[in-house]
A = this chain, B = another copy of it.
Amino acid sequence: MPNYTASSLKAELNARGWRMTPQREKILYLFQNLPRGNHLSAEELHDLLEGQGEGISLSTIYRSVKLMSRMGILRELELAEGHKHYELNQPYPHHHHHIVCVQCNKTIEFNNDSILKQSLKQTEKEGFQLIDCQLTITTICPEALRMGWPSALPSNWSCTRAIADKK
């Protein structure tokens, strides 16, 4: 999981018979300049680029994030929001994992280097080559617990943070 530059991305693409394009470079650049802890859906990525005057079609966005995920440059997160999110696949010490609340989808990150180590060991043992590993912990968040989850919780109740997160 190396850190990529435009030219190292180009080199790796070309080595596989693929091509560097302005679109791919812009997407890489955007992710590399995203504040830590942010992850974007294809739609959000599209709107963000649009806002910067960098119109890239939604089809290309989808194709690019998929390609870059398979290359190990991005990681695809499935954090219960109903659509995939993407973030840079960063090497140690920024590699991290997620805790998600099933009640409100609140997500927090945590670091744990031993998980990557154990994953490497396991994949080598099986003859696979590691691209990424993600530990996703499904939980009930403290706020929902304080509210008396599960019985005392109205079915439409949602943690305050969850509501705030819907921008």
Contacts and interface: CB of A to CB of B under 8 A. Distances in A.
Interface of A: 15-17, 69-70, 72, 75, 78, 99, 101-103, 108, 110, 112, 114-115, 118-119, 122-123, 126-142, 145, 150-151
How many copies of this chain are found per oligomer? Answer: 2
Contacts of A108: 126
B122 A137 contact: yes
Given A135-B134, A151-B17, A99 B127 contact: no
A135 B123 contact: no
Nearest to A102: B70
Contacts of A15: 150-151
25 contacts: A15-B150, A16-B150, A17-B151, A75-B138, A99-B123, A101-B128, A102-B131, A110-B126, A112-B122, A114-B114, A122-B137, A123-B137, A123-B139, A126-B142, A128-B141, A129-B140, A130-B137, A130-B138, A131-B138, A131-B140, A132-B137, A133-B135, A133-B136, A134-B135, A134-B138
Given A128-B140, A136-B136, 17 more contacts: A15-B150, A70-B102, A72-B138, A102-B131, A112-B118, A114-B114, A115-B118, A123-B137, A127-B141, A127-B145, A128-B137, A128-B142, A128-B145, A129-B139, A130-B138, A131-B138, A133-B138
